[in-house]
Amino acid sequence: MDSIHPDDYGLSKPETDITEREDIELELLLVGVHRLYGYDFRNYALPSLRRRIWHFIHAEGLGNISELQGKVLHNRATFERMVHNLSIPVTEMFRDPNLFLTFRQKIVPILRTYPYIRIWHAGCSTGEEVYSMAILLHEEGLYDKSRIYATDMNDRSLETAKQGVFGIEKMKLYTKNYMEAGGTRSFSEYYTAKYNSVIFQPFLQKNIIFAEHNLATDRSFNEFNVILCRNVMIYFNDELRNHVHKLFHDSLSNFGILVLGSKESIQFTELSESYESLDRVEKIYRKIK
């Protein structure tokens, strides 16, 4: 009797073939998603994108990327779950407190000289960073002349952000962050506790506009004095990062301020020469040309 060669089961395929097949499957999935739903993940950094996709495949009880492709293209609800899975909405209030302290010390004096302040939080997730900025501006007497645009591609995160309701268990950390960020009041003044949640004071929302915006596919929508985009572009490849920097450059007024995350930098991007650094550690830049 002829023995069955292991290749017949695809078992002895060299590792490179498997990787190549997976690359093809991933490319087809991303092209399909882009064409059908308009969401463009094709220029996300591959290692973390691959990890998230496989995490989602397991969560959905599927076996491989092609199976996921079939489900995503035939079922909008699966696609929406995939977007939420790829979005990584990790955030906290006054995250990296020293950034907010530096913003108070170095940027607020500049903003004071403006008649009106427009700020864009791009990739704001569930809004904690935005409420932090509203509190800071309120304490500095600048909130009334400010308008904060807070955007994300993840509509579910934006819903949470609009509610302004967060878990009470996080308040200990947020109070600590607030103090380290130079907060001048008692942090508990800003929220009311109810059961296991807290709701932030409605006046903090008064000058915030939450809206869906995708940095990979949507255009500039206003001119801003400050743009904060923290911990978002770490998930992008160089091409998409350059694309987003162009969008921000087009959206900033002359001498506008750009704030990036602690692991991000304007260095090595195509627009590095268009900015000067205002704080090297906290990744605060000013547009100079």
Ligand X SMILES: C[S@@+](CC[C@H](N)C(=O)[O-])C[C@H]1O[C@@H](n2cnc3c(N)ncnc32)[C@H](O)[C@@H]1O
Sheet holding 284-287, edge to edge: 208-212, 146-152, 117-122, 224-229, 252-260, 284-287, 275-279
By CB under 6 A, which span of 13-21, 166-174, 214-222, 267-275 interacts with ligand X?
A: 214-222
Sign of the CA dihedral with 255 first, then 261, 266, and 270 last:
negative
Please identify, among the stretches 50-58, 64-72, 149-157, 162-170, the one whose residues bind ligand X according to the rule CB under 6 A. 149-157
- Compare residues 21 and 34 and give the one whose CB is closer to ligand X: 34
Exposure of 228 in the CB half-sphere (CA atoms within 13 A): 23
Q: Give how far the C-alpha of residue 198 lies from the chain's centroid of Cα atoms, to the nearest Å.
A: 23
> Of 61, 90, 113, 196, which lies in the binding site for ligand X, with binding defined by CB under 6 A?
90
For the packed helices 46-59 and 76-87, what is the interaxial angle rounded to 10 degrees?
Answer: 130
Interaction of residue 138 with ligand X, rule CB under 6 A = no
Find the binder of ligand X among 52, 230, 249, 283 (CB under 6 A).
230
User: Is position 98 an interface residue for ligand X (rule: CB under 6 A)?
Assistant: no
Out of 102, 132, 157, 269, the only residue in the binding site for ligand X (CB under 6 A) is 157
Nearest to 164 by CA among 129, 211, 136: 129
Task: Tell me the helix, strand and coil percentages in the chain, rounded to 5.
Answer: 50, 20, 30
Shortest Å distance, C-beta 87 to ligand X: 3
Using rule CB under 6 A, residue 282 touches ligand X: no
Q: Does 30 bind ligand X (CB under 6 A)?
A: no
Nearest to 133 by CA among 145, 125, 144, 121: 121
Site for ligand X in 108-137 (CB under 6 A): 123-125, 129
Rounded Cα gap, residues 264 and 284, in angstroms: 10
Tell whether residue 152 is a contact of ligand X (CB under 6 A): yes
Question: If binding is defined by CB under 6 A, does position 88 make contact with ligand X?
Answer: yes
91 binds ligand X (CB under 6 A): yes
Name the site residues for ligand X (rule: CB under 6 A): 87-91, 95, 123-125, 129, 152-154, 157, 214-216, 230-232, 261
